[in-house]
């Protein structure tokens, strides 16, 4: 029989480089060199007026530095950076912002390490996994390197946790607890406490990320007090979105009592359906959707009552689960309609830490508290770079000005412009 041309390609061996990869690597090197050359010309132009007594330029080009490699997503790329000489002795020298002196791997590789760990690659398998991804020349990314990096990430988290927030104002908060298993801890079910905020310009950022104990009131209280007293965040958010965990809401009322609360509809629907037999869940889910999809609060209230009337006789626990948070479930009607899709759930946190949940669910008792905190911090930073501004962010200014919203529509008096938020 003839050779199967559709089977898996053979693994490349050292010295047997994939031509396309090599072409891409050369292209990357050429682009880097062009960009660095442009940086150099701009640098020389800035110092063109710096001359010697005889009129010659003091800062001039002076060959190249020794060659070095930078690890990228397509393997090692060899680079040679240009040098300059300052003939005046003032110590002026060229440093590339694209390729600073101590850069040895691109940020994409830095983000790859925590991602690989949470996807299930143990530290003992790191060298093999990284070699497969980056090529045979991945010498600096051993398991011991990962250990050092995790310690570095913890240090970065500590510094980030102490940053000044006195000038920050958040309009919305999403708060949630990410549960995971720990190794060698008496309480195996620990929790990562996370708050994501929306600034007045609509951009989203992490407000807080720390470890706690089962989303307890004390853990949330310590986090919120630290934000207020140690980091200077005195301005309370207008709305906080979270699930039904009582610890957060009790702590919030103690530290930021002016903040309104919105219960997450995704969590609430799941909790209600858990009180019903599977055969009844599709119909109940549609009835619940009629509540949070209503275009006005009055319509939502009527849908609420209809659900209670239809289900209370046979499934009172399901109705009780829904009714106990009635006011908080409908708080979003007092905010711009363009924001409803975003403020009815804790989805920004859920989607960001889905990988963390998946990894820890499958590796029972295989991570430590510091490990999960450092990895989640780095993954969160990576995810935040891809966050988009809040949909309808233009209406945040109206909230900041104190404009009232009824059923998502701004209510103006004669001193304000009239426009609809719907």
Burial 317-332 (b: 16+ CB within 10 A, else e): ebbebbbebeebbbbb
User: What's the confidence (pLDDT) of residue 204?
Assistant: 94
Which pLDDT tens digit goes with each residue over 160-210? 999 999 999 999 999 998 776 655 454 545 688 999 999 999 999 999 999
pTM, rounded to two decimals: 0.69
User: What's the confidence (pLDDT) of residue 177?
Assistant: 86
User: What's the confidence (pLDDT) of residue 19?
Assistant: 65
Average pLDDT over residues 78-87: 87
Question: Pick the residue with more confidence: 369 or 2?
Answer: 369
Average pLDDT over residues 83-101: 80
User: What's the confidence (pLDDT) of residue 5?
Assistant: 38
Question: Pick the residue with more confidence: 6 or 16?
Answer: 16
Question: How far is CA 328 from each of CA 263, 311, 332, 403, rounded to the nearest angstrom?
Answer: 5, 21, 8, 20
**Residue 85 is encoded by which pair of tokens?**
């000489």
User: What's the confidence (pLDDT) of residue 12?
Assistant: 42
Question: Pick the residue with more confidence: 354 or 392?
Answer: 392
* Three-class DSSP category at 113: helix
**pLDDT at 212 exceeding the cut of 50:** yes
Are 37 and 64 a contacting pair, CB within 8 Å? no
Average pLDDT over residues 389-404: 93
In terms of Cβ atoms closer than 10 Å to its own Cβ (0-12, 13-18, 19+), residue 144 is: exposed
Average pLDDT over residues 4-20: 45
Are 406 and 400 a contacting pair, CB within 8 Å? no
Burial 55-66 (b: 16+ CB within 10 A, else e): eebbbeeeeeee
Phi-psi region of 84 (alpha: psi -120 to 50; beta: other; left: phi over 0): beta
User: What's the confidence (pLDDT) of residue 287?
Assistant: 96
User: What's the confidence (pLDDT) of residue 348?
Assistant: 79
Average pLDDT over residues 57-64: 90
Measured CA to CA, the distance from residue 127 to residue 133 in angstroms comes to 10
Q: Which residues make Cβ contacts (< 8 Å) with residue 393, sequence separation at least 6?
A: 198, 201, 202
1-5, 32-36, 216-220, 226-230: range with highest mean pLDDT:
226-230
Average pLDDT over residues 14-27: 59
In 3-state terms the chain splits into helix, strand, coil percentages (rounded to 5) of: 45, 15, 40
Count CA within 13 A, CB hemisphere, residue 75: 17
User: What's the confidence (pLDDT) of residue 372?
Assistant: 75
Sorting pLDDT into bands at 50, 70 and 90, what band is 80? confident
User: What's the confidence (pLDDT) of residue 362?
Assistant: 46
Which pLDDT tens digit goes with each residue over 261-276? 999 999 999 999 999 9
User: What's the confidence (pLDDT) of residue 3?
Assistant: 40
- The domains of the chain, with CATH numbers, are 19-86 (no CATH), 105-264+345-391 (3.30.420), 272-337+392-422 (no CATH)
**pLDDT at 7 exceeding the cut of 50:** no
**pLDDT at 256 exceeding the cut of 90:** yes
Among 45-49, 129-133, 322-326, the minimum mean pLDDT is found in 129-133
Which pLDDT tens digit goes with each residue over 311-357? 999 999 999 999 999 999 999 999 999 999 999 998 878 777 765 55
Indicate the angle between helix axes 281-292 and 265-273, nearest 10 degrees: 150
First to last CA, the chain: 68
């Amino acid at each position: 029989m003839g050779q199967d041309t559709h089977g898996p390609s053979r693994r490349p061996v050292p010295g047997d480089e994939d031509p396309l990869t090599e072409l891409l690597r050369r292209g990357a090197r050429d682009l880097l060199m062009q960009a660095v050359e442009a940086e150099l010309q701009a640098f020389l132009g800035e110092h063109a007026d710096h001359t010697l007594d005889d009129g010659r330029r003091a800062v001039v080009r002076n060959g190249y530095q020794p060659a070095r490699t930078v690890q990228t997503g397509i393997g090692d790329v060899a680079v040679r950076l240009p040098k300059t000489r300052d003939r005046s002795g003032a110590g002026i020298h060229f440093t590339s912002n694209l390729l600073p002196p101590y850069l040895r791997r691109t940020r994409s590789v830095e983000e790859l390490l925590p991602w690989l760990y949470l996807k299930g690659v143990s530290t003992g398998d790191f060298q093999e996994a990284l070699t497969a991804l980056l090529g045979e020349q991945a010498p600096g990314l051993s398991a011991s390197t990962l250990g050092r990096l995790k310690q570095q990430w913890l240090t970065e988290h500590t510094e980030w946790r102490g940053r000044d927030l006195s000038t920050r104002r958040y309009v919305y908060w999403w708060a949630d607890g990410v549960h995971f298993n720990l190794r060698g801890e008496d309480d195996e079910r620990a929790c990562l406490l996370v708050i994501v905020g929306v600034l007045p310009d609509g951009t989203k950022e992490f407000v807080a990320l720390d470890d706690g104990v089962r989303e307890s009131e004390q853990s949330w209280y310590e986090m919120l007090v630290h934000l207020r007293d140690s980091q200077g965040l005195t301005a309370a958010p207008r709305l906080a979105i979270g699930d039904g965990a009582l610890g957060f809401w009790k702590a919030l009322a103690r530290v930021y009592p002016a903040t309104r609360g919105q219960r997450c509809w995704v969590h609430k629907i799941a909790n209600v359906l858990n009180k019903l037999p599977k055969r009844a869940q599709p119909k109940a889910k549609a009835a619940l959707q009629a509540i949070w999809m209503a275009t006005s609060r009055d319509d939502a209230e009527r849908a609420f009552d209809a659900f209670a009337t239809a289900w209370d006789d046979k499934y009172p626990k399901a109705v009780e689960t829904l009714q106990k948070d009635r006011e908080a479930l409908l708080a979003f009607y007092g905010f711009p309609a363009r924001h409803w899709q975003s403020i009815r759930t804790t989805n920004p946190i859920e989607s960001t830490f889905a990988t963390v949940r998946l990894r820890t669910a499958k590796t029972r008792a295989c991570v430590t508290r510091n490990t999960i905190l450092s990895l989640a911090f780095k993954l969160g930073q990576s995810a935040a770079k891809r966050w988009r501004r809040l949909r309808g962010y233009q209406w945040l200014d109206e909230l900041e000005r104190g404009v009232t919203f009824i059923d998502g529509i701004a209510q103006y008096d004669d001193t304000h412009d009239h426009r609809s938020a719907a």
